[in-house]
Amino acid sequence: MKSCDTNFAKEVMALSKTTLTRCFSCMTCSSGCQFQHIMDVKPHAIIRMVQTGFREEALQASGPWLCVGCNTCSTNCPNAIDIPAVMDAVRQIAIKENRRIPEPNVNNFHNAVLNSIKRYGRTHKLEIMMRYKLVQRDLFSDMDIGLRMLAKRKLDLRASKVKELPEVKKLFNKAS
């Protein structure tokens, strides 16, 4: 029998500020989730893993990485559990512990966005896409869409910057 981490639920509840012990596994969250079919472990099962202390399994699952936080599940949850907050917490623990990330492309995209915010205080979409593609070593997929967006002037060449940039930068320095 696998060993269970009895503190895991407390850890996730403290981070997510969510009383996930209320979950009775009705699966409403997963059945309404637009992305459950691409998750290896679906939202209700992630919650179950957290409740029962299957820490390793939860931290390795792709589910939290494919959750976009659209709140469809938490709107539908009969027990008013903030499920995306649970997903945030599980994902953040995995990052903190330098776990292997099951969806590296999702993580690379988040990092590209955050680097842009750190650099400019705002998102510079063209640079985000270029840097994301470089990290992915995949320069050519979506090239057609990128070019169409450029032609339609949907991607500015120059970044719009916050004047008081140090104010934003220091948030990142503390975080790291």
Partner 1 sequence: MKTSAKENNESLKEFFKKININLVELPDWSCCGSSSAHCVDSELAHDLATRNLAIAPPDKPLLVSCPSCTLRLKQAHLHTLHDPELQNRFHEKWGVPFNPNLKIVHYFELLKDIDFHSLSKEIKKPLNGLKFVPYYGCMLARPPEMRHAENYHNLLESILTSLGATALDWGSGSRCCGTFLSVAKPDAITPIVNEIIQNGIDTGADCLITACSMCQLNLEIRCNLKQQIPTLHFSEVLSLAMGTNKYKRWFPRHLVDPTPLLTRLGLID
Given a contact cutoff of 8 angstroms between Cβ atoms, the answer to whether 48 and 12 are in contact is no
How far is it, in rounded angstroms, from Cα 10 to Cα 51? 9
Give the x-and-dash track for 77-96 against partner 1 (CB under 8 A): x--xxx-xx--xx-xx--x-
Give the x-and-dash track for 97-136 against partner 1 (CB under 8 A): ------x-xxxxxxx-xx--x---xxx-x---x--x----
Residue 31 sits in the site that holds partner 1 (CB under 8 A): no
Cα distances from 72 to residues 25, 46, 80, 82, in angstroms, run 16, 16, 12, 10
Given a contact cutoff of 8 angstroms between Cβ atoms, the answer to whether 62 and 40 are in contact is yes
DSSP 41: S
Tell me the closest approach of the beta carbon of residue 1 to partner 1, in angstroms. Answer: 33
Nearer Cβ to partner 1 (59/81) = 81
* Residues composing the chain: 176
The amino acid occupying position 9 is A
Nearer Cβ to partner 1 (46/103) = 103
Give the x-and-dash track for 49-68 against partner 1 (CB under 8 A): -----------------x-x
How far is it, in rounded angstroms, from Cα 156 to Cα 37? 35
Q: Which stretch binds partner 1 (CB under 8 A): 4-12, 23-31, 45-53, 142-150?
A: 142-150
How far is it, in rounded angstroms, from Cα 88 to Cα 61? 13
Q: How many residues contact partner 1, by CB under 8 A?
A: 59
* Cβ neighbours of residue 135 closer than 8 Å, sequence gap 6 or more: 108, 111, 112
Nearer Cβ to partner 1 (21/111) = 111
Nearer Cβ to partner 1 (54/132) = 132
How far is it, in rounded angstroms, from Cα 104 to Cα 132? 11
List contacts with partner 1 (CB under 8 A).
Answer: 15, 34-35, 38, 66, 68-72, 74-75, 77, 80-82, 84-85, 88-89, 91-92, 95, 103, 105-111, 113-114, 117, 121-123, 125, 129, 132, 141-142, 145, 148-149, 152-156, 160, 162-164, 167-168, 171-172, 175
